[in-house]
Structure 1
Amino acid sequence: MDDDILHLIPDEVGEPPQRGGAWTIAVVDDDPAVHEGTRYALADYRLDGRGLEILSAHSAAEARGLLAARRDVAVVLLDVVMETDDAGLALVDYIRRDLREETARIILRTGQPGQAPERRVIVDYDINDYKAKTELTADKLFTSLTAALRAYQQLKRLDETRRGLEIIIDAAPMLLDHKSMQRLAEGMLTQVASLLNVACAGILVLRESGGTDERFCVLAGSGCYHHYVAREPAWPLDDDVHPIVARTFTERRHSFGTPCSTLYLQTSTGSEIVALIDADRSLSETDRALIDLFTSRLSIAFDNVILYEQLQRANVGLEQRVVERTAELIRANRRLAMQRSDLRRANGLKTEILGTIAHDLKNPLAVILGRAEMLTDMTGLTPPPLEQMRAQVDHVRSSAKRLTGMIESLMADAMTDALDITLRREPVDLAALVREVCAANQPLADLKDQGLEAVLPEELYLCGDGERLREAIDNLISNAIKYSFPGGAITVRAWRDGVETVCAVSDQGPGLSPEDAGRVFGRFQRLSAKPTGGEGSTGLGLSIVKRIAELHGGRASAESPGPGAGATFAIRFPNIAVELL
């Protein structure tokens, strides 16, 4: 019995993953056998871990469409004679001139060398190799293709480097012109994508000098990282992004991987920046070299933006300080103007006071001097007229009292103008105080045969300064005596209603004209009415009354039916204000 034959089928061995994709070559020939033979000879071809993708075109016209659509062809294996004797040579011109493809390597393969002499073709056409089909064995095809792919690879690197340098040179003025950190960050991501010539997403993260690894500032984001732009600047990074960014900040160097790469940048001002780039392909050595060159130039741009923003903040602060200082100067000028006005007013008041004092004090002094001379003459008589001398002494005493009253009024007014004046607050029985002041002024009323009546409750307490209130009430009563006609009646009342506590003095004097009513409480105001007994007046009494009332939270008032009908002067204190005191 014949032994059974067992055939072992080898396990399929998967091809190792190709790095960077396959090399693309195009076979242009009108002979189908050439296409089949080329594919067979190059079936196992590999270079740098990359296989081949072989494209076929059976005429020059077909090749034109193919090469226009596929711009990644590295090597073209081109027949010279196809639909015409020079179809291949015309295709060379189309590739170099029309498509402007200078990096693709062209290997001419001809079966009729005599129709396209090698020397003339090499000189006149931009081709890279010229082979007769009879001499292009599998080994020579392998060698020629490898040399062509190496040359193509080097040219691509040079072209990528040139293109990258052009991008860097073009981007530099634009990036340096940015005045916003966000605009610069967005521009950097855009230029990195252009530099790599790939579609990529990215995020740019800033760590200020002295910052921590846990708090980063996202400057810009694109692609799948765009959502970071809408967040707060210090918003934490996602869990899958934070470790990568933090590690780059720690290592302080670029890191290239697939698909993510990180770029590290440190400025001269101490700021650190990391760009996370998520590309759709691995980065070549050329890409990495260009990225390194590009980021080394970016530190200047970021420094410019950082310094510009600092300058802007300084300008804003300076402008604010200028505004504040200007406002202070305006306020100071206003205060100076007010002080100047006050000084002018004070100077005018000083002049007026001096004139008033000179005028008002002159009469009592003249009386005192005249009576003193008369006393001197009387002392020489024998026997001395004692009654007449006593009368003169009374006149001297009365004039001296008038002088004393004037001086006290001036001193009291000066005190009420003092800025540091204070009240000695204490419970005061206003009714008792009015009785005392009426009793003190009774002799003056008797001299003019005037009736002085007090209509008061048993007691009427308020909180205030007793001496100041006494002074105000005394001014009101003495003023009524001074301006009331001899034989007239003066009534002093004090009461409290639901709103105010009031002390009022009514007289039967000359009353107030409409002009007098508007200025009766002014300082140094001389009214149309004159004292009825020849008394002097400084024009300060009622202004002192008004000041004392205001210090107690109240007010002074004057009411008169008209000239010749008497008047009522009062000080009024709101019950609430009085209680608070």
Structure 2
Amino acid sequence: MNDADEILFKDEPPEPPRSPEDQTAAAGEPWKILIVDDEADVHSVTTFMIRGLDYLGRRFQFFHAYSGGEARRILAEQQDLAVVLLDVVMESDDSGLQLVHFIREELKNRSVRIVLRTGQPGKAPAAKVILEYDINDYKEKTELTLDKMLVTVISALRSYHFITTIENNRLGLKKIIEASADIFERQSLQKLGSGVLSQLTSILRLHDDALGKGASGLTASGANGQSVVLAATGQFCRYVNRPVGEIDTELMNTTLRLAQSQRHGFYCQDGKCAWYFKSQTGSENFLYFEIDKELDENDHDLLELFFTNVSLAFDNLFLNKGIEDTQKEIIFQIAETMECRSAETGSHVRRVAEYAYLLALKSGLGEEEAEMLKLASTPHDLGKIGIPDSILNKPGPLTPEEYSIIKTHVYRGHDLLINSSSPIVRAAARIVLQHHERWDGQGYPQGLKGEEIHIHGRIISVADVLDALSNRRVYHEAWSWEEVFVHFREQRGKHFDPQLVDILLDHQEEFKAIWSRYNAVGMQFP
């Protein structure tokens, strides 16, 4: 090390012995400091000057690079370096300045604090460097006494800490916005509960698998003290769909009770955290999680905002569910009323709904869509409410004029339902209109062909005919199962979607079981 590179020491009193409390306070993640200099003595002297110190309870961890190329590798690997103590002149006169450009422009790292140190200020004049390069401090090596070195490093760390805190808050708010969008899209309590646990991992900046390994959590909801676990991770997975009261973890129950007593419904101590809120509909909702990290003030602020949005999502879901349940009840009552006009049909509405649900699942539709179709199928004959009883219950063949009247029921039913804003009711309207269309285009009322007919209409067509043939009607006796399935084989690709016929024939026993479960008491199948 030449005289120009010399770092001077000022006499300092010896460092006082550290108490056990101080040592514990300094046990957090260390501040990462990169020393870049081609002189080995500079590395040794720098680490000697500030070793053993800490800032905000965190010690220093040093990384060493002796050239610009070596520094680039370390910078690429260590994304959370706090300070770079950087020499200007190394393998070339501007190696340090090139590295500054690499950090700011190529790595896009705006957080790390760069302190330029030089023993040859003429090679990089301070005014020029400060104006043209994004550095945070400029020091000549000869002026870096112990005091000044400490001030320089602590000032850089303080700035880095402020910058990263602001950035973490920004990222946290971004995650909350993304999480809120996600949870508001979830249309069932189970999916909402699962989504809350998943988003919690992201907001707390845990590893992707943290809630599955390093932590455990659950969400629960219910009324009158009967909350049920909606979703869970880790050790609580075995409690899904079980009452919260069956969980025998006293620590969790204590934490939940403490959360209920808090003004904001949130309690966290020693990595055991619980959140409680009561929705507008009276439902009690819980979130409990255990993590290995301690939550800081920023975590608490972000969680409070997140929980506010979650509570709104729960309220929204409960209100929508109440509206949806009312709609379901109205639709079912309408269908039941219609069925009463034709007593011989027995449980026609229920059987068709179950056939449709099974066909939907077997054909690849999702659980939610299959459930929706199950309900939307119930008023498929709603339009018959406007058909005279003399035609509707006529025991013999219909005349051409009577058949024309019967065919109008699809328009009547469709017109009664189509103006609704409910997705379920609008699906029911489409089913009413299309369930008499045929795969070969010979059906009514529009003569649609093949996949021009919505999958819902094709499914109800199969389900409706299956039930009509397998039960007694005023115009025919019930067919045997063999006769029913022969008919579907013959009409495969003609009347019916061939894929749906294949599903029916491949799963005959499951459809027979539905018939048996919902058939009218005392009715005997031939």
| Per-residue deviation, residues 332-351 of structure 1 (Å, max 9, x unmatched) | 9999879x99xxxxxxxxxx
1:307 aligns with 2:319: yes
Q: Deviations over 1:66-97 (max 9, x none)?
A: 11111121111111111111111111111112
Which letter does structure 2 place at the counterpart of 1:206? A
Are positions 1:236 and 2:246 aligned together?
A: yes
1:246 aligned to which of 257, 261, 275: 257
Q: Does the 8 A contact of 1:205 with 1:273 survive in 2?
A: yes
Q: Matches of 1:250 and 1:257 in 2, distance apart?
A: 14
Aligned 1:61-80 pairs, distance under 5 A: 61-80=69-88
Change (3 A) 1:266 1:82: farther
**How does 1:431-450 map onto structure 2 within 5 Å?**
none
Pairing 1:8-407 to 2, within 5 Å after superposition: 14=20, 15-18=23-26, 20-199=28-207, 200-201=210-211, 202-209=216-223, 211-212=224-225, 215-229=226-240, 231-232=241-242, 236-239=246-249, 240-251=251-262, 253-331=265-343
1:180 shift after superposition: 0.9
The 2-side partners of 1:111 and 1:197 are apart by 42
* In structure 2, C-alpha distance between the alignment counterparts of 1:102 and 1:11, rounded to whole Å: 37
Structure 2 CA distance for partners of 1:272 and 1:151, relative to 1, 3 Å: farther
Q: Give the TM-score normalised by structure 1.
A: 0.52
What letter is aligned with 1:319?
I
- Work out whether residues 171 and 191 of structure 1, in 8 Å CA contact, stay in contact via their aligned partners in 2: yes
1:446-465 equivalences under 5 Å are none
State the number of aligned residues: 327
Distance in structure 2 (CA, Å) of the matches to 1:168 and 1:21: 25
Structure 2 residue identity aligned to 1:245 = L
Give the CA RMSD over aligned residues.
Answer: 2.9
* Per-residue deviation, 1:11: 10
- Give the Cα separation in 1 of the matches to 2:120 and 2:186: 63
The answer to whether the 8 Å contact 2:89/2:95 transfers is yes
| Structure 1 gaps, min length 5 | 1-9, 342-581
SS in 2 for 1:219: strand
Question: How big is the shift at 1:254?
Answer: 1.6
User: Per the alignment, do residues 32 and 40 of structure 1 end up closer, same or farther by CA in structure 2, a change over 3 Å counting?
Assistant: same
SS in 2 for 1:256: strand
Aligned-partner residue type, residue 183 of structure 1: K
> Taking structure 1 as reference, are residues 188 and 168 closer, same or farther at Cα in structure 2, changes over 3 Å only?
same
Question: How much does 1:235 deviate?
Answer: 6.5
Q: CA deviation at 1:107?
A: 0.6
Distance 1:94 1:45, change over 3 A: same
| Separation in structure 2 between the aligned mates of residue 123 and residue 324 of structure 1, nearest angstrom | 81
Q: Percent identity?
A: 35
Report how far residue 59 of structure 1 moved: 1.4
Distance in structure 1 (CA, Å) of the matches to 2:120 and 2:183: 58
- AA of the residue aligned to 1:37: V
**Which SS does the other structure have where 2:63 is aligned?**
strand
State the alpha-carbon separation in 2 of the partners of residues 289 and 270 from structure 1.
26
- Determine the C-alpha separation between the residues in 1 that align with 2:90 and 2:257: 62
Structure 1 residues 31 and 296 mapped into 2: Cα distance closer, same or farther (>3 Å)? Answer: same
Aligned-partner residue type, residue 222 of structure 1: T
Question: 1:233 and 1:311 mapped to 2: Cα distance?
Answer: 26
- Measured in 1, the distance between the counterparts of 2:217 and 2:73 equals 40
Over residues 300-345 of structure 1, what are the superposed CA-to-partner deviations in whole Å (9 max), with x where a residue is unaligned? 211121122223322332222222222234449999879x99xxxx
The residue type paired with residue 233 of structure 2 is S
Distance 1:88-1:12 versus aligned 2 partners, 3 A rule = closer
- TM-aligned CA deviation for residue 19 of structure 1: 5.2
Larger radius of gyration, structure 1 or 2?
1
Matched-pair contact (CA < 8 Å) for 1:248–1:262: yes
Q: Counterpart of 2:246 in 1: which secondary structure?
A: coil
User: Conserved in 2, the CA contact under 8 Å of 1:265 and 1:296?
Assistant: no
- Deviation string 1:98-150 (CA, Å, 9 cap, x unpaired) is 22211111111111111011111111111111111111111111111111111
Counterparts in 2 of 1:118 and 1:266: CA distance versus 1, 3 Å? farther
| Aligned match of 2:423 | none
3-state SS in 2 of match to 1:21: coil
Q: Deviations over 1:420-479 (max 9, x none)?
A: xxxxxxxxxxxxxxxxxxxxxxxxxxxxxxxxxxxxxxxxxxxxxxxxxxxxxxxxxxxx
User: Cα distance 1:18–1:258, how it changes in 2: closer, same or farther (>3 A)?
Assistant: farther
CA distance in 2, matches of 1:236, 1:311: 31
Q: Is the 8 A contact 2:255 2:272 kept in 1?
A: no
Task: Quote the Cα distance in structure 1 between the aligned partners of 2:219 and 2:122.
Answer: 66
Larger RCO (CA under 8 A, 6+ residues apart): 2
Within 1, Cα distance between the matches of 2:67 and 2:198? 42
Give me the whole-angstrom Cα distance separating, in 2, the residues matched to 1:132 and 1:81: 12
Residue number in structure 2 paired with 1:349? none
1:256 Cα deviation from its structure 2 partner: 2.9
Contact 1:205–1:216, Cα closer than 8 Å, also in 2: no
The match for 1:542 is: none
Residues 228, 126 of structure 1: alpha-carbon distance in 2 compared, 3 angstrom cutoff: farther
Structure 1 residue 154: Cα displacement:
0.8
Q: Which moved more, 1:265-274 or 1:48-57?
A: 265-274
Question: What is aligned with 1:396?
Answer: none
- Cα distance in 2 for partners of 1:11, 1:34 equals 27
- Asked if the contact 1:268–1:299 (Cα under 8 Å) also holds between the matched residues in 2, the reply is no
Distance 2:259 2:317 in 1: 23
Deviations 1:284-312 (Å, cap 9, x if unpaired)? 22222111111112222111211222233
Check whether the contact 1:47–1:146 (CA below 8 A) recurs between aligned residues: yes
Q: CA deviation at 1:275?
A: 1.8
Asked if the contact 2:193–2:220 (Cα under 8 Å) also holds between the matched residues in 1, the reply is no
Paired residue type of 1:278:
E
Structure 2 length as normaliser, TM-score? 0.57
Q: Secondary structure at the match of 1:221?
A: strand
Q: Distance in 1 between matches of 2:74 and 2:270?
A: 31
The 8 Å contact of residues 37 and 43 in structure 2, kept in 1 or not, is answered as: yes
SS in 1 for 2:321: helix
Instruction: Tell me which amino acid in the other structure corresponds to 1:289.
Output: D
**Structure-2 change in CA distance of 1:152 and 1:270 (3 Å):** farther
Matched residues in 2 for 1:265 and 1:78: separation? 52
